[in-house]
Each structure stands twice: as structure tokens, then as C-alpha cells.
Amino acid sequence: MSVKPVYRRVVLKLSGEALQLQEKGYGIDAGVLLNIAGQLKEAKALGLEIAIVVGAGNIFRANSSIGRAIDRVTADYMGMLATAINSLALQDALEKLGVRTRVQSAIEMQKLAEPYIRRRAVRHLEKGRIVIFAAGTGNPYFTTDTAAALRAIEINADVVFKATKVDGVYSDDPVKNKKAKKFDTLKYIDVLNKDLKVMDRTAVTLCMENKLPIVVFNLFKKDNIQKVMLGERIGTLVR
């Protein structure tokens, strides 16, 4: 019996930390990269149209210590360039597995990526290519979470998948608080009112205003990318 996905077009938000060398806490782990690419290839084979937004935390994060030396706007642009590095790495890993991809950047870099053009992105998806959106929104003060929500709305995606290290949204940090409660479903307004760390407030508000569901799930459990894209009830659904 063939398996039919419940979604048509999806956006997957990957954190930069998901790609990093765990023992060092930075860089790109080739094994992790190929594992993610393999899961995406399997999901793509189901007939899904997949777009991806990658963060930059494994390469650069504009934290408070850097902020004292580097202007926030400059630091944000540096982060956008780091997302382009991760995007190119993911593209190469996917294409080594025979998956056709395109990287589109919100900041023009003609020798590396296409400029982000909504109609062209949609056309790539319709032709069966995975599209990787680099450089966030192209503007400082906006996170890659917001970029994922914005691009999902622009390309008329059915859902945003937020891949994390934990298996959903909790009332508190489950690593520090063993009594933290996991939520199976949440309303957007509850995420905002309780200040739950699902995505940043701008991203959640965008999804709420456009009725775009968010699914938060554990990236590192076997076959979870394929499972969540098939509509299996894993992680936390925000709607």
C-alpha cells in the first residue's frame, strides 16, 4: 500500500546547531549533514514540495559579548552570510544523493545562489526541486524563524516544521526541569502569552495571522523528518 503525505508544500526550519560538530559545539558535521539529506530525499520521494530555511548558530551568533565589539546590524548581516554557508553545504549533500535543489538568497550573491524571487521559488517547487532559502529575510533584527514563517506564507505552504533537539514544546526547559510538561497541541495565543520558546514572537504572530500551523519535533530521532511530513502525530502542533 502506498503512503500518501497529508501535506502538499512544506517549509522545514533547521537550526544551525542541528548541523554542528557536537563535541566542539560549532562547525558542520558531515555525518549529520548526510543523515538530514538522506531523510529529506526519502520525504521528497513521497511527492512533497519542500523548502528549507537554515539558521547560522553553528557558525556565528550575535551574542552579547560580540555585540560589544560589533554593531548589531553588522552582526546580523554576518549571521546572514553564515546561513548561506550552511545552505550551500546542505545543497551539496542533497545533490550528492541525486536530489535537485536550488539555493535562493535574500542578499544577492550571484556566483553562489539565485536571488530570492517568489514566483521562481514556486516554479522550482512545482518542478520537484528542493528550495533552500538563505540569508534570512535580508534585513537585520529579523531571525531565521521569522524568515521561515514569511517564506512559508509567501509560497503558500501548508505548514512550518521547526526541527529541534527536543520532542516538542514544554512548559519549561526539560533538561533543567524534569517536571516540565510537554504539550501535544497549543494555540498561537498561548505560545505568546506564556512566552514559550517555540519560535520568536514575530514568527508566531505571522503564523497566527495567516492561520499557518507550526509543528515542533525532534530532528534527531530516526526517520522523524519523514514521519512528520507524513502527518504522524509527533512533537507539538501549534495552530
Q: What is the pLDDT of residues 117-176, one digit of tens each?
A: 999 999 999 999 999 999 999 999 999 999 999 999 999 999 999 999 889 999 988 878
> Which DSSP state fits 180?
P
Q: What value, to the nearest 5°, has the Cα angle with vertex 180 and ends 176 and 183?
A: 135
Q: What is the pTM of this model?
A: 0.94
Whether residue 238 contacts residue 213, with contact meaning beta carbons closer than 8 Å, is answered with: yes
Q: pLDDT truncated to tens, each residue of the chain (239 aa)?
A: 457 788 999 999 999 888 987 767 789 999 999 999 999 999 999 899 999 999 999 998 766 556 678 898 999 999 999 999 999 999 999 999 999 999 999 999 999 999 999 999 999 999 999 999 999 999 999 999 999 999 999 999 999 999 998 899 999 888 788 888 999 999 999 999 999 988 999 999 999 999 999 999 999 898 999 899 889 999 999 99
pLDDT reported for residue 150: 98
Transcribe 8-51 into DSSP letters.
Answer: SEEEEEE-GGGGSBTTTTBS--HHHHHHHHHHHHHHHTTT-EEE
pLDDT reported for residue 166: 87
> Which DSSP state fits 102?
E
Domain extents in the chain: 9-238
Strands 185-186, 182-183: pairing is unpaired
Kindly report the CATH number that applies to the domain delimited by 9-238: 3.40.1160.10
pLDDT reported for residue 1: 40
pLDDT reported for residue 66: 66
pLDDT reported for residue 131: 98
